[in-house]
Structure 1
Amino acid sequence: MTSSLAPPGYGRGVLIVVEHFWTWYRRNWRATAVSSVLQPLLFLLAFGVGFGSLVDRGGGAAAATGGVSYLVYLAPALLAVSAVQSAAFESTYPVLSGFKWQRIYHAMTAGPITPGQVALGHLAWVAAKMAGSGAIYIVVIALVGGVTGPGIVVSLLAAVLTGAAVASLVTAFAATVETEGGAFNVIFRFVVIPMTLFSGTFFPVDRLPAVVRPLAWVSPLWHGTELARMAALGRWTLFPALGHLAYLSALLAVGVVLATRLFTRRLAR
């Protein structure tokens, strides 16, 4: 028997994939609450409130932070960090599971949904989840005094763009993984953790040795952190901001193209 129902349009197909993830998440959100919400909040309390009080008391960090408290300086950076960490996690083992273990991607493409729609639906869901977690984070940092103005909302958009750029590239890589996911440990240990520590999150990049700084400059997290801080502190500089935006957008475009092609190649077997 053949179905008389017409296949959904491309955008509608992507939304159907997003709906699948939302249906699962609203029943199982507690399983990811620690990694997506509580972990960045613990970072904020430990470094921004706890360690930050020591930094502010010392008085020597005022020049590095631009004259604001360390909590205010750190808050938009942690917003970007939480987005990148969430993006990396959501685009590794869950993607491999969709191909190999649960095989939900195969089930989706058994109908009228295309592999490209599956890839874009996954990325759209990751972006939506980052935006929701980031909004909760903003409420908390506002309560503890880490918000100085409405620019923090633009910081959230910068963080989501940064996370989406990372998610697209990691998703493309995950689509090539055939083993049990041991390769993902390399990403977390040698990419995500160094990015977190040395991308201007906790201190300005110009405090790093000169030979190391270029590695920070190619990091998407550094570009996202700079954008988020510009917005949160109201210190926009046109050309640097456009450069950060162009870099992140280019990474996102490359990642989307690679992810859709690699999903298509793998699901067409």
Structure 2
Amino acid sequence: MDALARARSAPAFRELGYWLFRYRRTWRGSIVISVANPLLFLTALGLGLGKLINHNHSEYLHVPYVRFILPGMLVAAVMQTAFLEAAGPVMDAARPRGSYRAATATPLAPADILYGHLMYWALRAVQNAILFTGVSVLFGAVSPYRAPLLVPIALLVAVAFATPAAAWAVTVTRPSQVTAVFRFAVLPLYMFSGTFFPIEQLPAWLRPVAWATPLWHGVDLCRTVALGTETLPGVLVHTAYLAAMAAAGLAVARRTYRRTLHV
């Protein structure tokens, strides 16, 4: 009990507590969206469009389309949420009257503020992944025995995107910059990561570009695990790529948070 009490009183957990307190006002809508999104995607793309694709027997697909698209949609949704949660809110919090500025007037260090907010993003990613995979199991899009394995993958993807987004957003002063990055960098990843169709259908010159994107690594890792076709080398490569991206983002974020919040 003493150890638990000390953990709860750690500076980063105090920052986490602030974000959880704010989330108390919006959690219902968040959960509805987390359930509605997979329902809509799986119904429209998996069962609707999927019937046409399955009927034409695509040479690139060896499983029903709903089972193919589910892992991609899960990882893409986690990526989008991670960016949105770590970009706009961080930019607002780092403004002169933002919550970050208020926190710096307390014993919290910039690193404590970063870690506390990061834990909040991680919890949101786990919540969304559990709800998404739960709906997918009901649709028969993923095995109930494989579904729990997708949650830590979604968490890794979320941290890999959230940390560099936060490292950059804490230095941003205009909302239009966040909008531009989301529109011209984040959204195009959907089309070049194997989310909706196999990478093999892209032109040969474009495939290496797709293979280099972090979303493709998350999608391919999630899809192979969901379908039971994963290999140890593949899992290690994908995991190492995403972990390196998360570590690099965290290292840069520590520096940008310190420079921005100590001004």
Please, what TM-score do these two structures have when normalized by structure 2? 0.91
User: Which of 38, 44, 47 is 1:46 aligned to?
Assistant: 44
Measured on the aligned residues, the alpha-carbon RMSD in Å equals: 2.0
Give the Cα separation in 1 of the matches to 2:50 and 2:116: 39
> Match for residue 60 of structure 2?
64
> What is the 5 A alignment of 1:1-269?
12-33=10-31, 36-59=34-57, 61=58, 63-65=59-61, 67-100=62-95, 102-179=97-174, 181-269=175-263
Residue 30 of structure 1: how far off its partner (Å): 4.0
The superposition leaves residues 76-109 of structure 1 with CA deviations (integer Å, 9 ceiling, x where unpaired) of 1111111001011111111111011751011112
Equivalent pair of 1:84/1:166 in contact (CA under 8 Å)? yes
Give the Cα separation in 2 of the matches to 1:214 and 1:41: 32
The superposition leaves residues 165-212 of structure 1 with CA deviations (integer Å, 9 ceiling, x where unpaired) of 011111111011122x11112211221111112100111112111221
5+ residue gaps, structure 2? 1-5
| Equivalent AA in structure 1 for residue 55 of structure 2 | R
Structure 1 range deviating more: 151-160 or 124-133: 151-160
Residue 38 of structure 1: how far off its partner (Å): 2.9
| Equivalent AA in structure 1 for residue 11 of structure 2 | G
Equivalent pair of 1:36/1:82 in contact (CA under 8 Å)? no
Give the Cα separation in 2 of the matches to 1:50 and 1:221: 25
| Equivalent AA in structure 1 for residue 128 of structure 2 | S
Give the Cα separation in 2 of the matches to 1:228 and 1:190: 24
Give the Cα separation in 2 of the matches to 1:101 and 1:40: 38
SS of 1:92 mapped into structure 2:
helix
Give the Cα separation in 1 of the matches to 2:114 and 2:8: 12
Give the Cα separation in 2 of the matches to 1:44 and 1:136: 13
Equivalent pair of 2:60/2:200 in contact (CA under 8 Å)? no
Identity %: 36
Change over 3 Å in CA distance of 1:99–1:250 after alignment to 2: same
Please, what TM-score do these two structures have when normalized by structure 1? 0.89
Change over 3 Å in CA distance of 1:159–1:99 after alignment to 2: same
Give the Cα separation in 2 of the matches to 1:212 and 1:101: 43
